[in-house]
């Protein structure tokens, strides 16, 4: 069991991490002055496996929970689904001190968090992330959102949970491809902030892939700590938080350029991290071994290194359309070495073209 404290003044909260702690959720929630009514939001996949355990632990702790399961997948992060959740909250009579619990991956976390942030101008929010990506990334940082038909995450807020409970044992039922996708973000944390952690991930790769709960607890808590350190200094996302975008500039172009179908987010990030490492090398900032280290690690965790079926030119045009590109300038998060990043907005077009040609 590990606890990561996220220090954000009056919005501070703890992340509890351990194998089997799902059944302690109700007990952990008793420390707050919540009213008994609670809305548990999940999706049909996760709700079918873990919904009953969560309802039971809440009941035992004196809550009267209502479980609502949305359709799995990104399309649930929509205004229409949010409306059905507001309806459930109103019907149940949830008041300002009634908690909304997100039980699921990043989709459920973002959606339930958005509803918690807006229902009655904000009710208590509890995150129980069940995908590795949600455990190490989307449940830390307080960004909640739904999509608009014209773009992802366009309607949202900064809204911190009061408690995050991460059960590593639930990863046993997560599809392997989703596990690898989450590992891409774990690798990212090592690369941007912690050389020793990066080596640890590589050393323990077999234990990670065999779902050793102690090692999973270690890598999840370290990842949450790294993200929390950055978020604590930059809660509203100005300059510093940008380093979390390492590998993401190219990743977003890959996701858009391949119609959001061929690669999941973590796979696109893996290719994007290789691209960013190559840019770092061609800029004369990183030694060739850094690129080799990045590629070796990506390969070890069954993640892709290149894009098939999307031309470099197409990727380049999507790259310039990224919402983080301001005035045609791309802010590149580059590696000096493993664990050390630098921001550059002066990467020449030729280097970008060369790298995009190499990864396609």
Which residues belong to the active site? 121, 143, 185, 227, 237, 241, 245, 248, 252, 265
User: Rounded to whole angstroms, how far apart are CA atoms 183 and 21?
Assistant: 21
Subset of residues 15 to 44 that bind ligand NAD, contact rule: CB under 6 A: 43
Per the DSSP assignment, residues forming a β-bridge with 146 are 155
108 in a labelled binding site: yes
User: Rounded to whole angstroms, how far apart are CA atoms 118 and 85?
Assistant: 11
* CB neighbour list of residue 240: distance below 8 Å, 6 or more residues apart: 230, 233, 234
CA-nearest of 158, 116, 119 to 127 is 116
Give, in order, the Cα–Cα distances in Å from 31 to each of 75, 127, 273, 328.
35, 15, 41, 49
Interface pick for ligand NAD out of 178, 194, 267, 322 (rule CB under 6 A): 178
- Minimal distance, residue 325 CB to ligand NAD, in Å: 19
Determine how many CB atoms are found less than 10 A away from the CB of residue 80: 9
* CB neighbour list of residue 52: distance below 8 Å, 6 or more residues apart: none
110 in a labelled binding site: yes
Nearer to ligand NAD, 43 or 360 (CB): 43
User: Rounded to whole angstroms, how far apart are CA atoms 273 and 359?
Assistant: 11
Nearer to ligand NAD, 152 or 316 (CB): 152
109 in a labelled binding site: yes
Per the DSSP assignment, residues forming a β-bridge with 39 are 66, 100
Subset of residues 226 to 245 that bind ligand NAD, contact rule: CB under 6 A: none
43 in a labelled binding site: no
Subset of residues 35 to 94 that bind ligand NAD, contact rule: CB under 6 A: 43, 45-46, 49, 72-74, 77
User: Rounded to whole angstroms, how far apart are CA atoms 129 and 101?
Assistant: 10
* 133 counts as binding ligand NAD under rule CB under 6 A: yes
Q: Which of helix, strand or coil describes residue 260?
A: coil
**What phi and psi values does residue 126 have, to the nearest 5 degrees?**
-120, 130
* 104 counts as binding ligand NAD under rule CB under 6 A: yes
* 267 counts as binding ligand NAD under rule CB under 6 A: no
Which among 21-29, 104-112, 186-194, 313-321 is the span making contact with ligand NAD, rule CB under 6 A? Answer: 104-112
Interface pick for ligand NAD out of 18, 26, 105, 190 (rule CB under 6 A): 105
* 137 counts as binding ligand NAD under rule CB under 6 A: yes
Q: Which of helix, strand or coil describes residue 337?
A: strand
Nearer to ligand NAD, 190 or 291 (CB): 190
Q: How far apart are the first and last CA of the chain?
A: 42
Annotated binding residues for NAD(+), as ranges?
Answer: 106-110, 130-131, 143, 152
Binding site residues, ligand NAD, CB under 6 A? 43, 45-46, 49, 72-74, 77, 104-108, 110, 130-131, 133-134, 137-138, 141, 143, 153, 170, 173-174, 178
Which amino acids are annotated as binding site for Zn(2+), given as ranges?
A: 185, 248, 265
Which residues fall in the annotated binding site?
106-110, 130-131, 143, 152, 185, 248, 265
């Amino acid at each position: 069991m590990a606890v990561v404290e996220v220090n954000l003044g009056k919005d501070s909260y703890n992340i509890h991490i351990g194998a089997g702690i799902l059944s302690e959720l109700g007990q952990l929630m008793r420390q707050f002055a919540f009213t008994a009514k609670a809305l548990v939001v999940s999706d049909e996949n996760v709700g079918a496996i873990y919904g009953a355990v969560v309802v039971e632990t809440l009941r035992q702790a004196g809550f009267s929970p209502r479980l609502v399961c949305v359709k799995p997948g990104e399309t649930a992060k929509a205004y229409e689904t949010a409306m059905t959740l507001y309806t459930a909250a109103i019907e149940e009579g949830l008041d300002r001190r009634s908690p909304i619990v997100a039980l699921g991956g990043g989709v459920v976390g973002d959606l339930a968090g958005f509803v918690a942030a807006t229902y009655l101008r904000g009710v208590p929010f509890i995150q129980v992330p069940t995908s590795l990506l949600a455990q190490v990334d989307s449940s830390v940082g307080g960004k909640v959102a739904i999509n608009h038909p014209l773009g992802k995450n366009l309607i949202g807020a900064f809204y911190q949970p009061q408690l995050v409970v991460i059960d590593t044992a639930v990863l046993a039922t997560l599809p392997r491809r989703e596990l690898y996708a989450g590992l891409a973000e774990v690798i990212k944390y090592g690369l941007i902030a912690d050389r020793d952690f990066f080596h640890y991930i590589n050393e323990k790769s077999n234990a990670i892939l065999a779902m050793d709960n102690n090692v999973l607890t270690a890598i999840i808590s370290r990842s949450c700590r790294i993200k929390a350190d950055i978020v604590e200094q930059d809660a509203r996302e100005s300059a510093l938080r940008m380093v979390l975008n390492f590998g993401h500039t190219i990743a977003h172009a890959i996701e858009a350029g391949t119609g959001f179908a061929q690669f999941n987010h973590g796979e696109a990030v893996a290719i994007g991290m290789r691209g960013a490492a190559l840019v770092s090398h061609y800029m004369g900032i990183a030694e060739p071994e850094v690129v080799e280290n990045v590629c070796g690690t990506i390969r070890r965790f069954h993640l892709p290194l290149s894009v098939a079926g999307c031309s470099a030119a197409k990727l380049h045009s999507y790259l310039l359309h990224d919402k983080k590109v301001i005035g045609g300038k791309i802010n590149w998060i580059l590696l000096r070495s493993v664990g050390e990043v630098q921001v550059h907005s002066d990467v020449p077009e030729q280097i970008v073209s060369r790298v995009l040609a190499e990864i396609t």
